[in-house]
Amino acid sequence: MSESLGIAVIGAGAIGRTHIETLAGMPGLHLSAIVDPMPAARTLAESLDVPCLPQIGDLLEFGLARAAIVATPNETHLPVSAALLRAGLPVLLEKPVAESLSSALKLIAVADETGVPLLVGHHRRHNPIIRTARRAIAEGCIGDLVMATVTCSLAKPNSYFEAAWRRSPGAGGPLLINLVHEIDLLRHFFGEIAHVQATASHDRRGFAVEDTAAVTVSFARGGLATLCISDAAVGPWAWDLSAGENPARFPAHPVTPHLYCGSTAGLSLPDLALWQPPGAPDWTVPLQPHRLEVTPGDPYRAQLEHFADLIHHGGTPLVSVRDATANLMVLDAIVRAAESGQRVAVDLSPLGHET
């Protein structure tokens, strides 16, 4: 029997705890340490009977892990991940890849320099629902994309914003924290985004970062998508509140916040309902819906299995640092579009090659 792989979790906040809980049920993997200076992290580590260290230097000095999950605030992603990669530790880095494009490009350089596995935690790509939808889209089940509508209404409580970084430009706001997921899925399904337009508001919360935004994107291969997002709007129409990915944190309402309309059929998510006409498309003729078959699975578990496979066998990450940086480039363009009121082109040339 092979030796269990010790993984440290750096940052024991909400998403860090999700990874810790997932690790507890993973054969061949175990939590070897928590790195977090907060008292709550020490209490958690004591309850799990694992070491709790205040900084990654201690982790590296004592050799307590063979790999690490980085779930720290966005502005620390570059220095923390770079230190781990240069020490030879594979990294699963929570999204977004960094707080800025310049930091993300520096992290790409470190990953290229070291050759150590780096997987970015856009966990939805590991969800069987997403895998099934992507396969159906790739096989032409909806034809060419014509339009998509994505809604993300998240009424976050005031306590969520007690952490200052969630109110700070470059780290907080629903564009960077939440919309990055939706951008990643749209790119995953329909290819690169060519242009964006946007408007944003901070009127509800009054923070330096937005609380609500409306975005339009056009794809290089054709098709348009609209995205509306808010962390101050009440409603169940959000992936987090409908997909059931994290039942310990979020309820799963029976709604469909993702609608993809193609030239021959439509597809909604997360219910995987495919709406097809009986013949040629005709708005006066009833569509015939059926649900695509899928075997449910935990995307966080699947993501860790993929991470372990990368560590043991190498290969290409499902979400590479370049791929995740492309998401950040789209978000950067969205911010510039909202500030200028202009249509903004998405320039991926700094990546050096295809994502």
223-244 tens-digit pLDDT: 999 999 999 999 999 999 999 9
Q: Are residues 173 and 185 in the same domain?
A: yes
Q: Write down the mean pLDDT value for the chain.
A: 95
Residue 156: pLDDT above 80?
yes
- Is residue 153 located within the same domain as residue 85? no
Number of structural domains (the chain) is 2
Radius of gyration of the chain (CA): 20
Buried (b) or exposed (e) across 30-49, using 16+ Cβ within 10 A? ebbbbbbeeeebbebbeeee
Mean pLDDT of 136-146: 98
Q: Same domain for 110 and 184?
A: no
352 in any annotated domain? no
pLDDT higher for 3 or 71?
Answer: 71
Is 234 a domain residue? yes
* Domain-located, residue 151: yes
CATH code: domain of residue 72: 3.40.50.720
Sheet harboring 5-10: ordered strands across? 52-53, 29-35, 5-10, 67-70, 91-94, 118-121
138/266 same-domain check: yes
Q: How open is the CA angle 247-244-143, to the nearest 5 degrees?
A: 165
Per-residue pLDDT, averaged over 246-268, amounts to: 95
Mean pLDDT, to the nearest integer, of 249-261? 96
CB 20 within 8 A of CB 79: no
Give residue 25's pLDDT: 86
- On the question of pLDDT at 130 being above 70, the answer is yes
- Name the token pair of 83: 């230190």
H or E, element range at 21: helix 14-23
Over residues 6-29, mean pLDDT: 95
Q: Are 147 and 117 part of one and the same domain?
A: no
CA dist 20 → 32, 97, 195, 340 (Å): 10, 20, 38, 42
Give the C-alpha separation, 334 to 255, whole Å. Answer: 27
* Within-domain flag for 34: yes
Claim to verify: residue 130 and residue 120 sit in the same structural domain: no
CA distances from 154 to 157, 239, 242 (A): 9, 10, 11
- Give the domain range for residue 208: 125-296+331-340
How much is the pLDDT for 1?
43
Question: Please, are residues 36 and 11 in contact by the beta-carbon 8 Å criterion?
Answer: yes
